[in-house]
């Protein structure tokens, strides 16, 4: 017991440099673990899935490496499901790097070299285990857990489940990883958000808008689906939102249509028609200069609204 305890402590990522374990001789009587991404004084950042590794492995008892940086850990998958999932992810990764010409260079201080997809056998299994294993809510179709990427031993995880013979939302969640590693400096709470729910449980209050939700969810849909996103393209002709409104997407005005479908349309328009502006924006977000990102978006104002409306007519499908 003691041995394994110390082994775990050996991998503890010290959240606070003053925190030390005296010569490893004395076990601290009580360790306070940080909840989500917020590490308060005296707390240790050691995510639940690291603490519970053995327990999680009992359920997710199979592993497969798609690539050096990309692993699957799963409850039950067929060989075809494993092969298809790896192919989908590797294709997505290639497309991402092409679109952003990233040269495979991550943002500074990002140590999430590896991503592990944790796949439950069904939605029922997901609901049964995921909160216990990963400290995340189960009322969703999968989640990306970036953790604190500046910490040396950091590794990104995502949690998902099989539905209709494939890993549900596999691609979408994977793009969050790529976007976080190559486009957005810092962890989720360090960026622009107004969500305070799990898995990050960022401290309130939120910064002021504009946030990055239009982009993060939009780019996940865009890279995952390319130009084949019928659900979004069928909405295009309605012109429900101006582009300048979509930049202000938030948790407060959240709807599936607005955040995912219209986020897709906004992001696709920006990447395909306003690539220079996207480059300018990413220059700031890659450095974590979020105030300049916000100034930039504000300076765009409604200048692209008409162009966006015309473009919607071009891409709209019935
Ligand atoms: Zn998402």
| 254 in a structural domain | yes
| 20 in a structural domain | no
pLDDT of residue 4: 36
Q: Is 173 a catalytic residue?
A: yes
**Could you tell me if 286 and 182 lie in one domain?**
no
- Catalytic position from the list 173, 200, 217, 221: 173
Residues with CB under 5 A from ligand 1 (ion): 217, 220
Please report how the helices 262-273 and 275-287 are oriented relative to each other, as an axis angle in degrees rounded to 10.
110
Which residues, in sequence order, are CB contacts of 72 under 8 Å at separation 6+? 62, 63, 64, 65, 66, 82, 85, 86, 116, 117, 119
Q: Identify whether 199 is preceded by a cis peptide bond (ω within 30 of 0).
A: yes
**Average pLDDT of the segment spanning 259-285:** 98
Could you tell me the distance, in angstroms and rounded to a whole number, from the CA of residue 213 to the centre of ligand 1? 9
**Could you tell me if 156 and 221 lie in one domain?**
no
pLDDT of residue 25: 57
**Average pLDDT of the segment spanning 32-49:** 90
Asked if residue 12 has pLDDT above 60, the reply is no
**DSSP string for residues in 39-81:** --TTEEB--HHHHTHHHHHHHS-EEEEEETTEEEEESS--HHH
| 201 in a structural domain | no
**What's the domain range around 120?**
53-188
Count of structural domains, the chain: 2
Could you tell me the distance, in angstroms and rounded to a whole number, from the CA of residue 206 to the centre of ligand 1? 19
> Which CATH number belongs to the domain containing residue 169 in this structure?
3.40.30.160
**Could you tell me if 122 and 221 lie in one domain?**
no
**Could you tell me if 89 and 143 lie in one domain?**
yes
Q: How far apart are CA 147 and CA 14, in angstroms?
A: 14
| 38 in a structural domain | no
| 197 in a structural domain | no
pTM of the model: 0.88
CB 61 within 8 A of CB 76: no
| 145 in a structural domain | yes
pLDDT of residue 35: 87
pLDDT of residue 19: 44
Asked if residue 177 has pLDDT above 70, the reply is yes
Q: How far apart are CA 113 and CA 178, in angstroms?
A: 10
Select the more confidently predicted residue: 27 or 145: 145
| 7 in a structural domain | no
pLDDT of residue 241: 98
**Could you tell me if 225 and 177 lie in one domain?**
no
Least confident of 34-48, 70-84, 233-247: 34-48
CB 159 within 8 A of CB 59: no
Could you tell me the distance, in angstroms and rounded to a whole number, from the CA of residue 217 to the centre of ligand 1? 5
Mean pLDDT for all residues in the chain: 90
């Amino acid at each position: 017991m003691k041995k394994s305890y110390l082994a775990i402590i050996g991998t503890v990522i010290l959240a606070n440099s003053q925190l030390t374990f005296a010569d490893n001789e004395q076990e601290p009587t009580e360790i306070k673990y940080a909840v989500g991404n917020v590490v308060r004084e005296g707390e240790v950042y050691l995510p639940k899935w690291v603490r519970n590794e053995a327990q999680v492995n009992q359920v997710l008892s199979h592993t497969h490496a798609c690539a050096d940086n990309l692993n699957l850990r799963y409850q039950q998958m067929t060989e075809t499901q494993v092969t298809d999932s790896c192919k989908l992810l590797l294709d997505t990764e290639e497309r991402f790097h092409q679109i952003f010409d990233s040269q495979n260079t991550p943002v500074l201080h990002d140590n999430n070299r590896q991503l592990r997809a944790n796949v439950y056998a069904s939605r029922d299994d997901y609901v049964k285990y995921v909160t216990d294993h990963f400290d995340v809510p189960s009322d969703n179709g999968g989640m990306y857990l970036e953790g604190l990427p500046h910490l040396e031993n950091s590794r990104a995880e995502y949690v998902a489940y099989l539905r209709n013979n494939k890993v549900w939302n596999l691609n979408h969640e994977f793009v969050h990883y790529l976007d976080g590693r190559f486009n957005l400096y810092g962890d989720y709470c360090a960026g622009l958000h107004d969500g305070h729910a799990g898995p990050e449980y960022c401290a309130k209050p939120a910064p002021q808008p504009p946030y990055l939700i239009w982009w993060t969810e939009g780019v996940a849909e865009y890279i995952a689906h390319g130009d084949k996103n019928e659900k979004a393209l069928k909405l295009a002709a309605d012109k429900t939102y101006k582009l300048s409104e979509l930049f202000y997407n938030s948790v407060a005005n959240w709807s599936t249509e607005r955040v995912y479908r219209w986020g897709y349309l906004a992001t696709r328009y920006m990447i395909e028609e306003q690539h220079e502006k996207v480059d300018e924006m990413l220059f700031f977000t890659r450095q974590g200069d979020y105030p300049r990102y916000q100034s930039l978006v504000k300076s765009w104002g409604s200048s692209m609204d008409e162009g966006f409306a015309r473009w919607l007519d071009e891409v709209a499908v019935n």
